[in-house]
Amino acid sequence: MRHAETVTFGGSGLDRGAAFRGDQARLEVFFQTARILPVWRGKPLVQDDMRLGWVSSSSAVLAHAGPAVFLGFDAEDPIFACDISDWSPEAGAEAVEQGFLDTSVQRHPALEPEMAFVELRSVMAALSPRDAELAATGKAILQWHRSHGFCSACGAATMMTEGGWQRRCPACGTSHFPRTDPVVIMLVTHGNRVLLGRNSVWPEGMFSLLAGFIEPGETLEAAVRREVQEEAGVPVGAVRYLASQPWPFPASLMFGCAGEALDDQITIDRNELEDACWVTREEMVAVMAGRHPRIRPARRGAIAHFLIANWLADRLD
C-alpha cells in the first residue's frame, strides 16, 4: 500500500541513535542538555497547542523519575523519556476516569499551566508525525520497564541497560528485550460490502474492523482467517498485507490486512463480539461522515479508520 506510512504512528524517520545505547558515559552527557518527555502512568506530557511537553534535566518534575530511556535525536537534540508515575497529583486531580477513554488531565505544579498529562489516544491524530512517534515509543518502552522488573528465567530483580533498550538480570545474566505484541486487523470484504463488528465495552454504536492477536506459530494470513472464522463465522480466502501501526496500548503492533470473504453468512461468537454486520460502501460513507442512524465509526487515528477511509477512496494499492 503506497500510503501505508501516513497512518497515525506511521513513523517519522526518527534517528534512534542506537549506536550510543551502550555508551553510558555519553548518554549521561547527552542527558544534561536533552529534551526530556515525562510520562505519568502511560500519559505523555502535552501542551495545549498539541505539541509534546518537554522538560530539562534540572526540572522539578523529574524528582520522582525512574531511569531515563534514550529515544534518539530530534533536530540534533538528544531526546529521553522518563517515567514519573510515582508522582501523586494533588487530592482530587488523581481520579483517572474509568472506561474506554480516559479524558481526565493531570497538571503538575512545577509546570506551565498549558502543559498536562493526557491520554495519548485523545491527541494522537493531532500530533505531528515526529511527536507521535516519540510519544508512542516513550510510552511503550516505559510501560515495558514498569511491568518487567523481574527476570522471567530466575525471578531476580533486573536492571535497565543499553539506554533503556534492554533489561539485564544480575543473578543469571539473561538479557531481556522490549516486548511488542503482534495483532492482525482486517478489512474483510464481500463484493461491495465490508465486515464490521463491535465489542460490548465500546461506546454505544461504535463498530470497527475485526482484530485479534497473532498466535505463536501463525502467519499473518492464518491469523486473519482464524480470527474472522472464530468471531463472525465467515470463511476468508485471499489475504494481503496493507499497512502497520505501532499501538502502544500497551504494546501492540497492528498489521492491517485485506481479506476476501468466501461467504457472507455471519455467525457471531457472543463471547468475542456483541454484534457484526456487512456495510455497503454507500452506507460506510455515511458512517464515516457521522450521518449513519445506527453505526458510529472507529476513532480517527486508529488504523481501522485509516484502512476504511482508504478503501472508500480506492487507495488500497
Using CB under 5 A, which of the segments 67-75, 110-118, 167-175, 255-263 binds Zn ion?
167-175
Using CB under 5 A, which of the segments 83-91, 137-145, 153-161, 201-209 binds Zn ion?
153-161
Least distance to Zn ion, CB of residue 173, Å: 7
159 binds Zn ion (CB under 5 A): no
Q: Strands 175-176, 166-168: parallel, antiparallel or unpaired by DSSP? A: antiparallel
Q: Which three cell numbers stand for residue 167?
A: 533489561
Using CB under 5 A, which of the segments 70-78, 165-173, 259-267, 270-278 binds Zn ion?
165-173
- SS3 for 75-87 is CCEEEEEEECCCC
39 binds Zn ion (CB under 5 A): no
Q: Which amino acid is at 268?
A: I
Using CB under 5 A, which of the segments 53-61, 162-170, 187-195, 272-280 binds Zn ion?
162-170
Least distance to Zn ion, CB of residue 148, Å: 12
Using CB under 5 A, which of the segments 114-122, 143-151, 255-263, 303-311 binds Zn ion?
143-151
Do residues 265 and 234 lie in contact, with contact meaning Cβ atoms separated by under 8 Å? yes
Least distance to Zn ion, CB of residue 179, Å: 16
157 binds Zn ion (CB under 5 A): no
Closest-CA residue to 94 (of 22, 40, 57, 154): 40
Do residues 184 and 257 lie in contact, with contact meaning Cβ atoms separated by under 8 Å? yes
Backbone φ and ψ for 164, nearest 5 degrees, come out as 105, 0
Least distance to Zn ion, CB of residue 153, Å: 4
Binder among 169, 196, 214, 242 for Zn ion (CB under 5 A): 169
Do residues 84 and 65 lie in contact, with contact meaning Cβ atoms separated by under 8 Å? yes
The site for Zn ion, by CB under 5 A, has a size of 8
154 binds Zn ion (CB under 5 A): yes
Cα angle 21, 148, 12 (rounded to 5 degrees) comes to: 45
Q: Which residue's CB is nearer to Zn ion, number 29 or number 154?
A: 154
Binder among 95, 172, 262, 285 for Zn ion (CB under 5 A): 172
Least distance to Zn ion, CB of residue 185, Å: 35
Binder among 29, 95, 153, 157 for Zn ion (CB under 5 A): 153
Q: Which three cell numbers stand for residue 220?
A: 499473518
Least distance to Zn ion, CB of residue 154, Å: 3
Euclidean distance between CA atoms 225 and 241, whole angstroms: 13
Q: Which three cell numbers stand for residue 52?
A: 509534546
Q: Which residues pair with residue 189 across a beta bridge?
A: 194, 260
Q: Which three cell numbers stand for residue 192?
A: 461491495
Euclidean distance between CA atoms 295 and 287, whole angstroms: 6
151 binds Zn ion (CB under 5 A): yes
Task: Give me the residues that bind Zn ion (CB under 5 A), please.
Answer: 151, 153-154, 156, 169, 171-172, 174
